[in-house]
Amino acid sequence: MDLPASSRYIVVGAGIHGLSTAMHLARELKQRGLGDGSDVVVLEKSQPGAGASGIACGVVRNNYFQPAMSELMQACVEVWESDPAAYHYNPVGYVALGPKVQESDLTAVFERHERIGYRSELIVGEAEVADHMRALFPDWRAKGVTVCLHEHQGGFAFNQESVDGLLGKCEAEGVRVLSGVEVTGFRSAQDASVAAVETSAGEIEVGEQVVIAPGPWAQRFWTLLGLPSAIDVRTPSGEVHESVPMWTYWNLQEGEITVDPLMFATADGGAPPVIHLDTDAPLYTDEGVLLTDELWGIYYKRDRHGVQGGASPLTVDGDVELDPYPSTTNVDPSFPDMWCAALSHAMSRFEGCRPLYKTARSGGVGSFTADNFPVFDYMRPNVYCILDSNHGYKMIGVGREVAKVLLGEHSSLLYPFRFERFATGDLHPVSHSPYPWS
């Protein structure tokens, strides 16, 4: 398909956010009698799902300590639940387990779930948590766990398949999704808005607005838009941290074991919820070698060919060669030992699973903002940026909100994620989780 000379709306990036925005925008335009999908073009340098959305573990959960994240996630789960078949969404639920230090956080999360009507259950106390987990999995044996948040909504979706589902919906609305078109720059108008998008296939004039949804390539676009690589960050107490790097890369460590997926089932043979376990109990290999006696955590889910999941990510120093994606740098060579030992620590069915570890296309680099939360905002008068700080496969509903904002509405769900928060100190609260995304 040729690059059109102009388009009213140009979306850059065909991942979960770009495609969700394009689809919802097409629908909103039609519903309001303002146009339709033919007013929207998506530019993708590789192919849909080539970025983080195509390799994401696919976990959909609402275990967020930050009120704004939790409320936004509820709206996103609504979108997943609206068409599970097209999105290849498995509503199996999600279980977060933690040690004493996380009790207050998970209790606060649960109380908010109750307030917003998100279906979850809280279990507190070591024996109570063990009972709850053993009713689900009789071989549950994790130690040091005193709190459990069991979300009865959420679960996971199959990454590339859900991107394909969104793509189909975009095309059905008449949106043109152009693969193999790389955005290389922006031609500015005098008022700092973007007049044209420069691409490997020529220039395309901007009729109205541009949406940028670049996933791990966020920093590249930040630079193209002439935005600062370091910013001052005001904390809620009024203290100012000067010259904080706007972007940091983290390497997400993930892997899988090849087993019969059905060996990971609940006691009644049902599909298991996604499990996220944090504990401070010492972690040993099956051979009895101590791996760590500090707080550690893993997550895992049943996958098509086995059990897949990950552990805490690692920060990456400096810049990263992102192409071809997924580039993985600085992966801890001990990750497979740790992850397999942790599976075995959790459930005896995984004892001896280390030889079944498979080096697969799993794991990759993510771009994180100065406070590790998304920036959803206009960064030029007609350029809306969806920079999700790697939170965002689960955030399929962000595009629905962005579509409304593009058409002039206010979104109270997106407002807490404006860039201005770094200057005003209106930051999100921080939890006790060892992960940068909780």
How far apart CA 126 and CA 134 sit, in angstroms, is: 12
- Using CB under 6 A as the binding criterion, the count of chain residues that bind ligand FAD stands at 39
Which CB sits closer to ligand FAD, 241 or 361?
361
Q: DSSP readout, 180-230? A: T--EEEEEE-TTS-EEEEEETTEEEEEEEEEEE--GGGHHHHHHHTT--SE
How far apart CA 437 and CA 368 sit, in angstroms, is: 9
Q: Is position 388 an interface residue for ligand FAD (rule: CB under 6 A)?
A: yes
Binders of ligand FAD among residues 345 to 364 (CB under 6 A) are 363-364
Residue 307: φ, ψ to 5°: -125, 130
User: E strand or H helix at 339, and its extent?
Assistant: helix 335-346
Nearest distance from C-beta of residue 206 to ligand FAD, angstroms: 15
When binding is defined by CB under 6 A, the residue of 35, 366, 397, 436 that contacts ligand FAD is 366
Binders of ligand FAD among residues 394 to 413 (CB under 6 A) are 394
Q: DSSP readout, 164-180? A: HHHHHHHHHTT-EEEET
When binding is defined by CB under 6 A, the residue of 51, 99, 272, 416 that contacts ligand FAD is 51
Cα 438 versus chain centre, distance: 11
Nearest distance from C-beta of residue 110 to ligand FAD, angstroms: 20
Interface with ligand FAD by CB under 6 A: which range of 89-97, 124-132, 147-155, 215-223? 215-223
Beta strand pairing call for 296-302 and 383-387: unpaired
Q: Classify residue 90 by its DSSP letter.
A: E
Interface with ligand FAD by CB under 6 A: which range of 7-15, 79-87, 119-127, 171-179? 7-15
When binding is defined by CB under 6 A, the residue of 35, 58, 272, 306 that contacts ligand FAD is 58
Nearest distance from C-beta of residue 252 to ligand FAD, angstroms: 4
Q: Per-residue contact track with ligand FAD, 112 to 151, x per CB under 6 A?
A: ----------------------------------------
Nearest distance from C-beta of residue 350 to ligand FAD, angstroms: 20
Nearest distance from C-beta of residue 32 to ligand FAD, angstroms: 25
Interface with ligand FAD by CB under 6 A: which range of 26-34, 65-73, 392-400, 422-430? 392-400
Q: Which of 264, 251, 281, 286 is nearest to 364 (CA)?
A: 251
Interface with ligand FAD by CB under 6 A: which range of 56-64, 108-116, 233-241, 337-345? 56-64
Q: Is position 176 an interface residue for ligand FAD (rule: CB under 6 A)?
A: no
Nearest distance from C-beta of residue 213 to ligand FAD, angstroms: 5
When binding is defined by CB under 6 A, the residue of 40, 41, 56, 259 that contacts ligand FAD is 56
Interface with ligand FAD by CB under 6 A: which range of 97-105, 209-217, 279-287, 421-429? 209-217
Residue 78: φ, ψ to 5°: -55, -40
Is the dihedral angle over the CA atoms 60, 61, 66, 67 positive or is it negative? positive
How far apart CA 309 and CA 312 sit, in angstroms, is: 11
Q: Per-residue contact track with ligand FAD, 16 to 45, x per CB under 6 A?
A: xxx------------------------xxx
Nearest distance from C-beta of residue 223 to ligand FAD, angstroms: 11
Q: Is position 179 an interface residue for ligand FAD (rule: CB under 6 A)?
A: no
User: E strand or H helix at 97, and its extent?
Assistant: strand 94-98
Whether 297 contacts 259, CB under 8 Å:
no
Q: Which of 154, 89, 70, 88 is nearest to 119 (CA)?
A: 154
Residue 313 to residues 101, 335, 362, 367, 368: CA-CA distances in angstroms? 20, 10, 13, 12, 11
The residues of the shown chain that bind ligand FAD, judged by CB under 6 A, are: 12-18, 43-46, 50-53, 55-59, 182-183, 213-217, 252, 254, 363-364, 366, 386, 388, 390-394
